Amino acid sequence: MSTTTATAGNHPARASGVDHGTTGGDLGRLVVRALRRESRRLDALFINLALPVGIMVVFVYVFGGAIATGSSGLSYIDFVVPAVLLLSAGYGAALTAANVAEEMNEGLIDRLRTLPISSWVVPTSHVIASVARNVVTAGLALAAAVALGFRPDATVLDWALVLALVGGYILAVSAMAVVWGLAVKSTQAAEAFSFIVLFLPYLSDGFVPAETMPGVLRGFAEHQPITPLVETARALLLDQPIGNAGWIAAAWLAAAVVISVPTAAVLFRRRTTS
């Protein structure tokens, strides 16, 4: 037992005379931990990877023949791929809510909070891990789309902007998911967020043209954030005119992040000091 003596001389953190701690380092360690956790939940990992590919197949083969794309003049696969891309990225990012809620309900958060680290790195690590994981998932969904016959027509700059758009969407949804995960008490309630994020794209211009919807729904579809996001992705991938969609999409994403981050900070503080 002499190895774990508590005298200052044997204090391992001080013995070297160097504190190797940086906030970035702490964040990195927790991101690695979050990704490790993800990779070990095989059921969740499978759904995360299989769902986008499955949805892509369903839309292209099952609905593809029956759905007309209206005035866009696109084949259905070209029309729907950007929406499926955002849908699957958003769904994966929304799972962050359950991860955060689970973490808050486990004893581990107490240990993390008694460590000499800034407490905000804990929720932040979930957001960063979510972005890393879901950018990869979105890439897989896109690869599946190409295998099914999707032929993008995009320059290198277009691809970079698509990456920024999808990454920004994942970031915004993950940040909102942290807020949701901190606001609800149970993991089950946190999972409801995935459902909302999964459902919203259906009420957009993403899967069927908004012009085919009845009045009220059409008004909603044309003004909800998913529509400009899908239109931007479509324009970038298929070399079409982008119009105002790009700026509107960027504004929605920026607003979501700017509102979510301080809200999450306040909720985290409240949840961890009572």
Partner 1 sequence: MDAAISARGLTKAFGATRVLTGVDLAVAPGTLLALLGPNGSGKTTTVRILTTLLPADAGAATVAGHDVRREGAAVRRSIGLTAQHATVDELLTGRENLELFAGLHHLSGPEGRRRAAELLERFELADAANRRVGTYSGGMRRRLDLAASMVAAPRVLFLDEPTTGLDPRSRAELWSVIRELLAAGTTILLTTQYLEEADQLADRIAVINNGRIVADDTPDALKRQTGSERLLLRLERPQDLPRAGALLARAEGGPHLDADAGEVTMAIRDPEQLRHALARLHEAGIGVDQVELRTPTLDDVFFELTKAAA
Where would I find the beta strands (DSSP E) of the chain?
A: none
Q: How many residues bind partner 1 (CB under 8 A)?
A: 40
Q: Is 11 left (phi over 0), alpha (psi -120 to 50) or beta?
A: beta
Q: Name the nearest CA neighbour of 37 among 138, 126, 161.
A: 126
CB of 274 to partner 1, least distance (A): 7
Choosing from 37, 51, 57, 70, the residue that interacts with partner 1 (CB under 8 A) is: 37
113 binds partner 1 (CB under 8 A): yes
DSSP, residue by residue, 81-125 = HHHHHHHHHHHHHHHHHHHHHHHHHSTHHHHHHTSSS-TTHHHHH
43 binds partner 1 (CB under 8 A): no
24 binds partner 1 (CB under 8 A): no
Choosing from 43, 65, 71, 114, the residue that interacts with partner 1 (CB under 8 A) is: 114
42: enclosing H helix or E strand: helix 42-57
Helix pair angle (226-238, 76-105), 10° resolution: 130
CB of 45 to partner 1, least distance (A): 12
Choosing from 5, 155, 188, 244, the residue that interacts with partner 1 (CB under 8 A) is: 5
157 binds partner 1 (CB under 8 A): no
List of residues contacting partner 1 (CB under 8 A): 1-8, 10-13, 16, 18-21, 25-26, 29-30, 33, 36-37, 40-41, 106-108, 110-117, 272-274
